[in-house]
């Protein structure tokens, strides 16, 4: 099955995204209004089948230069375990608004194995924070 990724917010299935976010360990407190606000405030990536069914989502909050925060990386049920999370994150990291950002950070409790091969490292003693840091410090 072929997939594609789009940043067109008009294509996003917000109720479906909200349902998926609510089912995670990090998003159980969010209302539909909060989910909608997060989408409005970020660069969003939808993952779709060729038939335009949304099967994944992620969003990034960024200043496009110094810092980007990758959040809500989701592959919807029935599509997990096919490498689509890795495909989605790789695509995001190559996006023109993200690829030259000096620091890309994220938090995860259980997906370190997804992010480490893509260049993310643990931050300090945190069990959750990971970052890809290209900044040069003199």
Residues 35 and 84: their CA atoms lie apart, in Å, by 22
User: What is 60-129 written as a DSSP string?
Assistant: EEE-SSSEEEEEEEEE-TTSTTSSHHHHHHHHHHHSTTTTT-SEEEEE-SS-HHHHGGGT-EE-TT-SSE
Q: Is residue 138 part of a domain?
A: no
Query: What is the percentage of the chain residues whose pLDDT exceeds 70?
Result: 99
24 is in which domain, residue-wise? 3-133
Contact by Cβ (8 Å): 20, 57 = yes
Could you tell me which of 74, 85, 119, 116 has the C-alpha nearest to residue 99?
119
> What pLDDT is recorded for position 124?
93
Residues 23 and 6: their CA atoms lie apart, in Å, by 23
59: helix, strand or coil: strand
Q: Is residue 64 part of a domain?
A: yes
pLDDT higher than 70, residue 1: no
Banded pLDDT at 136 (limits 50, 70, 90): confident
Residues 131 and 2: their CA atoms lie apart, in Å, by 30
pLDDT in tens, 5-22: 999 999 999 999 999 999
In the chain, how many domains are there? Answer: 1
Q: Is residue 41 part of a domain?
A: yes
Residues 13 and 46: their CA atoms lie apart, in Å, by 9
pLDDT in tens, 36-88: 999 999 999 999 999 999 999 999 999 999 999 999 999 998 899 999 999 99
CATH number at residue 48: 3.40.630.30
């Amino acid at each position: 099955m072929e997939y594609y990724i789009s940043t067109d917010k008009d294509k996003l299935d917000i109720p479906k995204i909200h349902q998926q976010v609510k089912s995670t360990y990090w998003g159980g407190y969010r209302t539909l209004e909060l989910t909608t606000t997060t989408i409005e405030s970020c660069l969003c990536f939808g993952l779709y089948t060729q038939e335009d069914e949304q099967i994944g989502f992620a969003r990034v909050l960024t200043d496009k230069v110094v810092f980007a925060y990758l959040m809500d990386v989701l592959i919807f049920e029935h599509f997990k375990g096919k490498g689509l999370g890795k495909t989605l994150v790789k695509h995001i990291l190559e996006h023109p608004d993200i690829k030259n950002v000096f620091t890309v950070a994220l938090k995860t409790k259980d997906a370190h194995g997804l992010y480490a091969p893509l260049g993310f490292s643990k931050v300090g003693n945190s069990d959750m924070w990971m970052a890809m840091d290209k900044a040069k410090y003199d």
